[in-house]
Chains A and B, each alone.
Chain A
């Protein structure tokens, strides 16, 4: 299979949730791709649809959610067309995911080593002592001190950082081609956060593992990603290489997001809030969902469809009046 084609291509992905108060269009025609070995960051406020996108790719959406449109092509195969059986073949082996709260994602009454072993048995077809050795090896690879003892430990006996390392060990057990990391370090301490992100980077480099890094924290995304996808209210508003995005953001929302993120040397006066909030995603929405918060809007913004303009190669923006 050719390695020049992207590893993962998401095309016009749309997801809806049925709720008591109507249909929530959580993700609307989202498109992006991830190339072999690269780290793509997805950033956005809560309610921007970044986690829903990740879950839709994995086929792990909540039952109330439904993919209404679009394709998710992983290694040339459309995961959405193939059904659950096909997704299960990729999931855990070539496509892995880690979540924000590792402690709740682990089984509380099974030693963590055993849980890693379960993954190894199921996906790497190892058995007996070889599975156990592999699990111990993985614990060492994610730099958990004293793997032998940690193997026996239950999740509640371990700190949040160590639990997240265990999750990473499970996720990388089968050398996946793509790891989706949904807020992998949120809620952890700064030093632990840095260590976890370092570990992910190390795996990415050593194994040419592509990473889809999802976070609400622009600083984390900016520090760790090769390319950035900015999401707002279920739309991809801008996509560019990291340096370019920070140097010359073209979507007004991206610019506002950068201006509101604390950075060294900035004073409180330098930080500008983003007016308004993420719009209610029920009912009839304008073509541009940033319209109500935007100070650059022109009448043409109310006319569908939402444009998707490639300003320079690799830098696309969904705006009629880009900066």
Chain B
């Protein structure tokens, strides 16, 4: 095993709840690592904290606690507003969910792609700037005639290509993909997925792919992290997590994915009620307890930690602890 490109240690982010003195635990003690050249999938439902987690890694938000180490450097200590000028800024870029929202309506495609090149000093002046913009446009398959257009003059697929071109123009080492295809039609979605897979090969980038759509995550990822209520509940190779999910939540999630072929369908695991409130949840109760079809008395007493159950495969659930207190990893 080499050196991880990104290591996140026990990172947390709390937000004050308006009008109260209580705190919302959006991300609560998450640790993960991403190896160079990998594509790691991050799945979870809305409100589970996956958006906050990627924004912490993208350094758009400051963590409340924990460390974010990128290529051996602790980047979590630089405040987010100053990180815009940091040397590491170009290394971590991001593609957002909705291209309509993430493209400035008053910037042409050219100006959008040129913005990071100018600001991060990669190619501040023409004609080098123009060459780099053209190169990025060519890489994402955006014809050069479209570069003079405003976002509303482009189709959804073209808009997302512009957004991807902007992100890869400065050759980031880690590209965060926050639901990059969920605002697009199926036909366009496939094209963008193929494009992302090609780009990863060509440019040797590392991906963190966030999605609520498990069918998509499976297509691109080598490894998968499942998040629930601010914590990672299962982590492992995509193969293992999708085919033999262990955590009860992962199992329920997978059983809910719509499947056309009746023979392929898994029996539906119904979850009762709504997820636990992320506002100051009790620290000693498993977050999934109450909805979990397999919860037992210990889940109410003790928060399960993420422990290895197999090579590279970790689960945070008391069901998988043969001997309480001791684990393979320790």
Contacts and interface: CB of A to CB of B under 8 A. Distances in A.
A194 B256 contact: yes
B191 interface: yes
Max chain B C-beta neighbours (<10 A), residue from A190, A195, A261:
A190
Nearest to B219: A268
Max chain B C-beta neighbours (<10 A), residue from A145, A191, A266, A273:
A191
B219 A271 contact: yes
A219 B268 contact: no
Given A45-B185, A189-B212, A190-B214, A264 B190 contact: no
A257 B197 CA distance: 21
B215 A273 contact: no
B283 interface: no
A222 interface: yes
B257 interface: yes
Contacts of B157: 277
A263 B45 contact: no
Given A191-B256, A268-B220, A273 B190 contact: yes
A260 B186 contact: yes
Interface string B222-259: 00000000000000000000100000000011011111
A18 interface: no
Given A190-B214, A273-B187, A277-B157, A246 B45 contact: no
Contacts of A189: 45-46, 212
Interface size class of A (residues with CB under 8 A): 35 or more
A274 interface: yes
A45 B185 CA distance: 6
A268 B258 contact: no
Contacts of A162: 274
B258 A262 contact: no
A107 interface: no
Interface string B197-208: 100000000000
A25 B265 CA distance: 39
A190 to B, nearest CB: 5
A45 B187 contact: yes
A272 interface: yes
B143 interface: no
Nearest to A260: B190
A248 to B, nearest CB: 14
Interface string A167-192: 00000000000000000000001111
Contacts of A222: 258, 260
A262 B260 contact: no
B220 A194 contact: no
Interface in A157-216: 159-162, 189-195, 197-198, 216
A272 B186 contact: no
Nearest to B271: A191
Interface in B139-173: 155-157
Contacts of B5: none
Given A219-B215, A266-B219, A277-B157, A190 B186 contact: no
Given A190-B257, A222-B258, A223-B260, A262 B216 contact: yes
B155 A277 contact: yes
A46 B185 contact: yes
A272 B253 contact: no
A217 interface: yes
A262 B265 CA distance: 14
A218 B185 CA distance: 11
Contact of A257 (B187, B242, B264, B271): B187
A48 B46 CA distance: 28
A191 B193 CA distance: 24
A159 B277 CA distance: 12
Contacts of A262: 213, 215-216, 218-219
Nearest to B255: A194
Contacts of A220: 258
B273 interface: yes
B197 to A, nearest CB: 6
A265 interface: yes
A136 B219 CA distance: 44
A197 B155 CA distance: 31
B185 A190 contact: no
Interface string A250-282: 000000110011111111100111100100000
Contacts of B256: 190-191, 193-195
Nearest to A265: B264
A162 B274 CA distance: 9
Interface of A: 45-46, 145, 159-162, 189-195, 197-198, 216-220, 222-224, 246, 256-257, 260-268, 271-274, 277
15 contacts: A45-B187, A145-B273, A190-B214, A190-B253, A193-B256, A197-B258, A217-B258, A218-B186, A219-B257, A223-B265, A224-B258, A257-B186, A262-B215, A273-B187, A274-B186
Given A190-B257, A264-B215, A271-B190, 9 more contacts: A145-B274, A194-B255, A197-B258, A219-B257, A262-B216, A264-B257, A264-B264, A268-B193, A277-B187
Interface of B: 45-46, 155-157, 185-191, 193-194, 197, 212-216, 218-220, 242, 252-253, 255-261, 264-265, 268, 270-271, 273-274
